[in-house]
């Protein structure tokens, strides 16, 4: 398969389409993983108008996309795929640690209850961690 795809990736538009396609698929996959581990349904809460869930989910989207952006600086699309998966996995672990190391309250329960302050902190943590992970990828 690598030999079939490589000629397409030699063209700028083909390379852009490759990066974009992989990025969209990875974004969907990683957001689905977050949906599985949170105690609330992100998109259901957003539909209900839960601003805390919207902020937290927006932070996850930005964080994943930021990691993908850093991963594009690798020399090939194959390295991009590998490093973006590693980065997203670390991002996922960081989210789990954030939930675990916050003993005062449970992040997911507060977000589900609409606590905007917790949603904002979750967004800030996601954005910040994505920059650290991205810097480690390059």
pLDDT digits (tens, 9 = 90+) for 49-107: 999 999 999 999 999 999 999 998 877 888 999 999 999 999 999 988 888 888 788 88
pTM value is 0.86
User: Which pLDDT score is estimated for 4?
Assistant: 75
Range of the domain at 119: 2-137
Q: What does each C-alpha distance from 84 to 37, 90, 92 come to in angstroms?
A: 20, 10, 12
* CB within 8 Å of 45: residues ≥ 6 apart: 52, 53, 54, 111, 112
How many CB atoms lie under 10 A from the CB of residue 10? Answer: 9
Q: What is the mean pLDDT of the chain?
A: 89
Give the pLDDT mean for 40-54: 93
- What's the structural domain count of the chain? 1
- What is the predicted pLDDT for the residue at 34? 87
First to last CA, the chain: 27
| pLDDT for res 1 | 53
What mean pLDDT do residues 118-129 have? 95
Q: Is it the case that residue 7 has pLDDT exceeding 90?
A: no
């Amino acid at each position: 398969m690598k030999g079939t795809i490589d000629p397409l990736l030699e063209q700028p538009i083909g390379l852009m389409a490759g990066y974009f396609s992989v990025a969209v698929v990875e974004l969907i996959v990683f957001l689905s993983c977050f949906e599985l581990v949170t105690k609330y349904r992100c998109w259901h809460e957003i539909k209900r108008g839960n601003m805390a869930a919207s902020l937290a989910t927006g932070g996850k989207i930005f964080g994943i996309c930021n990691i993908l952006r850093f991963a594009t600086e690798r020399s090939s699309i194959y390295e991009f795929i590998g490093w973006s998966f590693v980065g997203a996995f670390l991002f996922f672990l960081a989210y789990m640690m954030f939930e675990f190391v916050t003993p005062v309250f449970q992040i997911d329960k507060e977000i589900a209850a609409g606590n905007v302050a917790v949603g904002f902190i979750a967004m800030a943590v996601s954005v910040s961690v994505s920059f650290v992970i991205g810097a480690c990828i390059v």
